[in-house]
Amino acid sequence: MLTMLLLSLITILICHLVMGLASVISKKMVLDREKNFPYECGFDPKGSARLPFSLRFFLIAVIFLIFDVEITLLLPLASVFNITSVFSWLFTSTLFLIILLLGLYYEWVQGALEWST
């Protein structure tokens, strides 16, 4: 028990030491003017490269990715149908779909799915 505690403390100490060392070594100069501007084939930039983007589009993209991952989690249910019992397969798939639909309903109620306001 004492050796596990000692090894844990040594591991935590080494991790903090490495993270602190990496933080000190990787400091970048904020005053470097050339690195702050976008590169356009050696020419001076026409306009600002820091254009704002639609937060709604970003939110829709994140929701799409979440539901896409959930669909990939749903795909193996078809392949395990013959291996498991019907009750456990039905219970698992129904519970997963209910959780998925509750998440969709929550996003709908919060207004995240409305493109224009």
Give residue-wise pLDDT tens across range 29-68. 555 666 666 665 666 666 666 677 777 788 888 888 888 8
The answer to the question of residue 110 being in a domain is: yes
The answer to the question of residue 117 being in a domain is: yes
The answer to the question of residue 27 being in a domain is: no
Per-residue pLDDT at 6:
92
Q: Is the pLDDT of residue 82 over 90?
A: no
State how far the Cα of 104 lies from the Cα of 113, in Å rounded to an integer.
Answer: 9
Is the pTM higher than 0.75? The answer reads no
Within 13 A of 44's CA, how many CA atoms are on the CB side?
0
Per-residue pLDDT at 23:
81
The answer to the question of residue 81 being in a domain is: yes
Give the pair of three-digit tokens for residue 51. Answer: 């254009």
For residue 99, give its domain range.
54-117
Give residue-wise pLDDT tens across range 83-93. 888 898 899 88
Tally of domains in the chain: 1
The answer to the question of residue 89 being in a domain is: yes
Detail the DSSP E strand segments found in the chain. none
Q: What is the DSSP letter of 43?
A: B
| SS3 readout for 83-108 | CCCHHHHHHHHHHHHHHHHHHHHHHH
Per-residue pLDDT at 33:
61
